[in-house]
Structure 1
Amino acid sequence: MAAPLSRRDLDFLLYDWLDVAALTAHERFADHSRDTFDAIMDLAEDISTRLFAPVNKKGDQNEPYVGEDGAVVLIDEIKRGLDEFGKAGFLAGSFDESLGGLQLPATVSRAAMTWFQAANAAMSSYPFLTVGNANLITEYGTPEQVDTWVRPMVEGRFFGTMCLSEPQAGSSLADITTKARPIGDGTYRITGTKMWISAGDHELSENIVHLVLAKAPGGGPGVKGISLFIVPKYLEDGTRNDVALVGLNHKMGNRATTNTLLNFGDGTHRPATESGAVGYLVGEEHRGLSYMFKMMNEARIGVGLLATSLGYAGYLKSVEYAKVRTQGRPVDAKDPASAPVPIIEHADVKRMLLAQKSYVEGALALELYCSTLVDIEQTSTGTERDEAALLLDVLTPIAKSWPSQWCLEANSLAIQVHGGYGYTTEFDVEQHYRDNRLNPIHEGAHGIHGLDLLGRKVVMRDGAGLTLLAGRIGDTVTRAAEAADPATVAYGEELRAAVDRLVQTTVKVWSAGDVALSLANSTVYLEAAGHVVVAWIWLEQLLAVGERSGDFFDGKRAAARYFYRFELPKTGPQFDLLDSLDRTTTDARAEWF
């Protein structure tokens, strides 16, 4: 069976390109070394291979269900694997040593997490959400809240969730109706319903710490009235809080991650006279959404990494299959009695494999680059820190959405490489596709991130973020101009033209004087901008490859060549469409459908 990831690629990205070992020069990471980082990666590969990957299919085929006692039932292997995950310190990864954490760079911690996401996406969701939850409380909670709720999560005893959406609101958080009522003792009573809550109920941990968006009195309408609350399944004294599981949602993929409809304060688990689930305010009233964006933005990078990991796993399995599956003969073969060849010898199969490789290796590099920006923020001051934060802000919509679109396409191509077998449950690639199909929706659909990128990120502070991004890409192009490889020089010239076009189109789109028209095709903008960014990331990888020879490095060159020949040119017609301020979508009337 193929490994779900390439350790060689991870090592190349971490050490040859990003030079994460240099982070140990900073006081925060001074206790670590490359040996530490390698040991973390070795352990992640070992546990994910032994305890996550072997039960991926079993968890998919045995969905969670609610038992007669009202408890959620999952296959036993999930708890066994997650317990080992926690004991090995992976939940503690990037947390401060003062909290019991390992104080690892985010880049290393996230790289380790890719092993688990690639091996078993559904199992990895429980700790993924927990880490985001704990990070948020650490940043905005009181010392008492950190001691009570974060420390047990870092230890792996508690798990966490984020409770945003509601049945009637979906992604429109301004329309949530969950209420929070202060009762005078510092706590609140939470009443309402939350939908699509991943990991919302289970028996995998001692407790579940829900982070719940709700509206407290006096906040006014819209998102400015939203506050954030810690609402645990069990209170500090061990009694059950009034958080009730209404039902489990049955999904196309990620089936072993419980996905729930939860009621808060309906009297199921506490006397109705108490009127609500007990909640603890995080930070200040009416600032809840700004706090939740800490977890949401972190989750968006994590979703991009999950999409990448699933695409990568499918890619490697399709490569393995293509090398052993014999079928057909070369198009110039004259003897029908000659032996069939492995399908990897056919040009169109190589096209599909190159496409997958260019998507998944480009996406993995992008996600790890974004993670280094987090580390720079933590270890730098002044302009360097501010620029890292700004660049991460601009890249986050792309880092979430681009892998969710194109690594899903990689999964589709992996099925195609397998032919009819790829469509069967006997092979893993059909499950990878189903598991990955959630990610274009998860943590905001493409349309939302298109609006965020074009409507906010590239125009905020008079375009400072886009200017910074274009400048960083320009720096790479300047270095590429001095490369020994003529192809690298040519790619740099093509990239310079593409990023210039991106900037020009951004100005053109916003010249309309009509916000609705400017944003009408923002998803096209997101896709085109994403392709320009990933082309930049591929050029960066080529510069790290340099003049080295060997199959690994030649494979990088081939994938970069594919991206520049087949993918980057797609942005030309997209920019043309955007420049035209096309009204096809805005003019369409509901009655026409």
Structure 2
Amino acid sequence: MPSYSAPVEDTLFLLKDVLGFEKLSTLPGLEEATPDLIEAVIREGAKFAEEIVHPLNQSGDLEGCKRHDDGRVTTPKGYKEAYDAFCEAGWGTISADPNYGGQGLPHTVGTLLNEYLSSANMAFSMYPGLTAGAVAALTIHGTDEQKQTYLPNMIAGKWSGTMNLTEPHCGTDLGLIRTKAAPQGDGSYKISGTKIFISAGEHDLSENIIHLVLARIEGAPEGVKGISLFVVPKYSIKEDGSNGEPNGVSCGSIEHKMGIHSNATCVMNYDEATGWLIGEENKGLKAMFVMMNEARLGVAVQGLAQSEIAYQNAVAYAKDRLQGRSLSGPKNPEKAADPIIVHPDVRRVLMSIRSFNEAARALVLWTAMHGDISHHAEDAKEREAADDIMGLMTPVLKGVLTDTGFANTVNAQQLFGGHGYIQEWGMEQFVRDARIAMIYEGANGIQALDLVGRKLPANGGRAVMAFFKEVGDFLKANKENADLAPFTGPLKKGLDDLQAATMWFMNNAMAKPDNAGAGSVDYMHLFGLVGLGYMWAKIAKTAQDQLAAGAGEKADWLSNKVAFGTFFMERLMPETSAHLARISAGSDTLMNISADAF
């Protein structure tokens, strides 16, 4: 049976020593986020993930969700009790607005706790995760009345939330949406249509489910300019705030899917369900993107989370499994074979995964901190700069962390040989669960197009130039640091490659957009490597400084950080050159061949 231990010490090292998390407590509204409080929250959150949520992961996957003849959906055994414990402990309130029952801690804390929950049980974590996204959209675009009606119960977990975009005939191209909204003259609308792939669309965990639904008001313009967003509760809500009658919303079926079996992915039917407009008419995508951006960061974390738990179990297996002898002579002569961790290629796989995980965690937290700054800093320019980084990094994190996270689960599974392919060891579940993260909340090819087509040129390239400057300033500041040269050298080469790729797009993609399309995924991964390399350089500098100052019992732990970072720079960072070469090849070979030739 697989196991999981939350990487608490790694997280605290990043927050306290590498990223300077304590500066967030100087921002208005975050004064109570002291280092001691945050550490206590992290440690308790880790225990909850390890002891309450993780034991249900494999059993929930095997049992799955069940739809009954009356349309009800029940979750696997133990899920309702775990969800109730989640709500009672207040885990869903951690980063929520205190005006509606939240604790008001930084969203960075919520992000790192999401990693622990997602590693422990990805399917379970999606129930409160979708609710958090719906809360974000209502907070920004809802009316005061809507906020008072929905947010307190959603934040408390008494009610949950969903997002309803996809329809049978359209996924990414939301302009094709057919779900209708008929105005009723009293401010409400009758919503009719079918949505598919709705995560947590129906279940038995919460007392009500608040659906956010994209639909087209009668007479609205065609395409994306005619889409509005509506809040549609499963049960109508009485004046006293209690649940009323069923609201014309039903689960038609549960999707039979590759993974995340214990999350109810539903076909949702709306039969003149009563809904209310969120935000402005025909501006639904603007409101929904608030939820989608939050969800995309959450999905990026899922990629890291599955990579982390797969790594932990692969390491345990590699230390225990006896197969063959070391190439340099027996390391376990008293036994019939050596543990497979003595083999160089096994170590290559494990170090590749571990070196990615540590840098990815840092990049997620670094980005999340910018999100907190964008909401709380007093200076408008500081808020703007932080928001630029959030917008720029969202597609990079979503695409790179889920692509690589899935590849890492496959590589970890490979170390188990045939045992990795059967259910008992749990590795095949990590592979199946990780696969969806590359697809939902915008498939990764779309993330790459968003990065190249929208995020790079936004505001005259202000965000990407700021990123270049920050990394460049770090390199200049550490130019004479010989100990850090194994990190700054490869990082500078990677940054040069990224700047060259950016310039190539500027010179070749405006007149020929296919060049941008052909190179967008490579650019996304090139950008991701530079971001990860930057994090490793910051981690290594911190570790080396602490070692120089006398690290005592932490010396080996810190030295290992430097070793894994060095591996990343030697083995993974050079891939930036390959990405640049592919980008520079352009689109001619791709696009000049006839479709009939395929």
Q: Measured at CA, do residues 541 and 239 of structure 1 come closer, stay the same or move farther in structure 2, by a change above 3 Å?
A: same
Q: Which runs of 5+ in 2 are unaligned?
A: 239-243, 548-554
1:458 maps onto 2:461 in alignment = no
Q: How far is 1:167 from its partner? A: 0.8
Q: Measured at CA, do residues 574 and 157 of structure 1 come closer, stay the same or move farther in structure 2, by a change above 3 Å?
A: same
Give the SS at the match of 1:188: strand
Q: Measured at CA, do residues 89 and 166 of structure 1 come closer, stay the same or move farther in structure 2, by a change above 3 Å?
A: same
Offset from partner CA, 1:93-123 (integer Å, 9 cap, x none): 1112121111011111211222111100000
Q: What is the match of residue 310 of structure 1? A: 306
1:351 maps onto 2:348 in alignment = yes
1:363 maps onto 2:367 in alignment = no
Question: What amino acid does structure 1 have at the position aligned with 2:570?
Answer: R
1:309-388 → structure 2 map (5 Å cutoff):
309-333=305-329, 339=335, 340-380=337-377, 381-388=379-386
C-alpha distance in 1 between matches for 2:5 and 2:409: 13
Q: How far is 1:303 from its partner? A: 0.4
Q: Measured at CA, do residues 435 and 483 of structure 1 come closer, stay the same or move farther in structure 2, by a change above 3 Å?
A: same
Question: What amino acid does structure 2 have at the position aligned with 1:348?
Answer: D
Q: Measured at CA, do residues 45 and 183 of structure 1 come closer, stay the same or move farther in structure 2, by a change above 3 Å?
A: same
Q: Measured at CA, do residues 112 and 534 of structure 1 come closer, stay the same or move farther in structure 2, by a change above 3 Å?
A: same
C-alpha distance in 2 between matches for 1:337 and 1:464: 61
Q: How far is 1:558 from its partner? A: 2.0
C-alpha distance in 2 between matches for 1:334 and 1:173: 60
8 Å CA contact 1:517–1:586 kept in 2: the answer is no
Count of residues in Structure 1 that have an aligned counterpart in Structure 2: 581
Q: How far is 1:324 from its partner? A: 1.9
Runs of 4+, deviation exceeding 4 Å? 334-338
8 Å CA contact 2:66–2:75 kept in 1: the answer is yes
Q: What is the match of residue 429 of structure 2? A: 431
Question: What amino acid does structure 1 have at the position aligned with 2:345?
Answer: D
Offset from partner CA, 1:516-569 (integer Å, 9 cap, x none): 233223112212221122111211211222244433222221221222111121
Q: How far is 1:489 from its partner? A: 2.0
8 Å CA contact 1:466–1:503 kept in 2: the answer is no
Give the alignment partner of residue 448 of structure 1, picking from 446, 463, 471: 446
1:407 maps onto 2:440 in alignment = no
Q: What is the match of residue 255 of structure 1? A: 261
C-alpha distance in 2 between matches for 1:510 and 1:4: 45
Q: How far is 1:588 from its partner? A: 3.4
C-alpha distance in 2 between matches for 1:544 and 1:387: 25
- What TM-score comes out, normalization by structure 1 length? 0.95
Give the SS at the match of 2:352: helix
- What TM-score comes out, normalization by structure 2 length? 0.94
Give the alignment partner of residue 591 of structure 1, picking from 573, 585, 596: 596
Q: How far is 1:373 from its partner? A: 0.6
Q: How far is 1:2 from its partner? A: 4.4
RMSD: 1.7
Question: What amino acid does structure 1 have at the position aligned with 2:383?
Answer: R
Question: What amino acid does structure 2 have at the position aligned with 1:367?
Answer: V
C-alpha distance in 2 between matches for 1:582 and 1:98: 52
Q: How far is 1:418 from its partner? A: 1.8
Question: What amino acid does structure 2 have at the position aligned with 1:256?
Answer: S
Q: What is the match of residue 156 of structure 2? A: 155
Q: What is the match of residue 234 of structure 2? A: 233
8 Å CA contact 2:4–2:54 kept in 1: the answer is no
Question: What amino acid does structure 2 have at the position aligned with 1:130?
Answer: T
Offset from partner CA, 1:210-259 (integer Å, 9 cap, x none): 00011113431211111100011001131101112111101111110000
C-alpha distance in 1 between matches for 2:34 and 2:538: 24
Q: What is the match of residue 552 of structure 2? A: none
Question: What amino acid does structure 2 have at the position aligned with 1:491?
Answer: F
Question: What amino acid does structure 2 have at the position aligned with 1:240?
Answer: P
Q: How far is 1:484 from its partner? A: 5.1
1:246 maps onto 2:252 in alignment = yes
Offset from partner CA, 1:415-457 (integer Å, 9 cap, x none): 1222221111111222111110100101111110111011111
8 Å CA contact 1:4–1:118 kept in 2: the answer is no
Identity percentage over the alignment?
Answer: 35
Question: What amino acid does structure 1 have at the position aligned with 2:329?
Answer: A
Q: What is the match of residue 25 of structure 2? A: 24
Q: How far is 1:312 from its partner? A: 0.5
Q: What is the match of residue 189 of structure 2? A: 188
8 Å CA contact 2:330–2:338 kept in 1: the answer is no
Q: What is the match of residue 480 of structure 1? A: 478
8 Å CA contact 1:166–1:194 kept in 2: the answer is yes
1:497 maps onto 2:503 in alignment = no
Give the SS at the match of 2:386: helix
Offset from partner CA, 1:283-306 (integer Å, 9 cap, x none): 110111011111111111110011
Give the SS at the match of 2:230: strand
C-alpha distance in 2 between matches for 1:26 and 1:464: 24
1:281 maps onto 2:277 in alignment = yes
8 Å CA contact 1:106–1:371 kept in 2: the answer is yes
C-alpha distance in 2 between matches for 1:588 and 1:232: 50
